[in-house]
Amino acid sequence: MIKRGILDLVTASALWGTIGIVTQIGYEHNANVFQIILFRSLSSSLLVFMVFRNVKTILDRISLIMGVVAVIFYETYVYSVNILGASLSAVFLYTAPLWVILASKVYLKDEINNRKILASILVVIGVYLIYFSKISIVSIGWGIASGFTYALLIIYSRFMQIKGYKDQEILASQAFWSLPFSLLFLILSPDLTGSSILTGIYLGIVATFLAYIFFYRGMRLTDSITASIISSLEPVFTIIFAIIILHQILTPLQFLGSGIIIFSSILISL
């Protein structure tokens, strides 16, 4: 029997799986990475406060830190994609389950068992096979940074849940407090483009607001380790969408990598 919350996590992964497709289309129409992040933050912030009007104050220190963690992750990941390419960045982004396991052992109350450890290692192997490429020292540095900051976002979100914050309050903290920091990056690219605005709005509504509603609910019903492992289905969904929308062909290694990730998700779900 599938654990409660797994379908929510899979849905979040599917929504995140559209990020690479939409961003690639945006780049083909001269979208700018900094502007994308800005309008992602702006649109998700507006939507959060329009829908969740009963959100309590998010002016405390814990909520502020959530916003800082979120914007550090977004900027690090987008910058690593811009420098290294989506493939190599994704390899390290999904080392996050291993970081989450380490943090769970020290700080969180989530259960750690051999099944979770095995599933986490399989995720790293599966994602690497999907995005097989040579790795340089510089690549390792940026990759570790993106994976670590993603894990930090998951860990801190779980910490807020343990502290009693509601899911909409965590999402509001993430969206609201990441906005002023995102505005700073507009200085680096002040000339707005339509593709940047549209791409950012899509990411704000679909890949942030909707995706994190499902993700936080799923993590609340499971734990941070399970959530980080199931979220690694994102590149699998990206490949599926790429085949359908961009007419890309799946390689044997991508088939193998996808199969390993799906197996790890099933392993952790039972």
**What's the Cα-to-Cα distance from 264 to each of 104, 105, 116, 230, 254, rounded to whole Å?**
19, 20, 9, 8, 15
Using an 8 Å Cβ cutoff, are 175 and 41 in contact? Answer: yes
Minimal CA–CA distance to 210: which of 171, 180, 265? 171
Q: What is the pLDDT along the chain (270 residues), one digit of tens a residue?
A: 557 788 999 999 999 888 878 887 888 888 887 788 889 888 998 898 888 776 666 878 899 999 889 888 887 877 776 666 655 566 667 667 767 776 666 566 666 667 777 776 777 677 677 666 555 656 666 767 888 888 889 889 989 998 999 888 899 898 888 888 777 767 777 778 899 999 999 999 999 999 999 999 999 998 887 888 888 788 778 778 877 887 767 677 767 776 776 677 666 655
Q: How far is CA 10 from CA 35, 166, 216, 237, in A?
A: 28, 21, 12, 10
Chain centroid to CA 57: how far?
A: 25
Distance between CA atoms of 91 and 100, rounded to whole angstroms?
16
Handedness of CA 33, 129, 17, 92 (dihedral sign): negative
At residue 161, what are phi and psi to the nearest 5 degrees? Answer: -65, -45
Please give the model's pTM, rounded to 2 decimal places.
Answer: 0.80
Tokens in use for 192? 């707005």
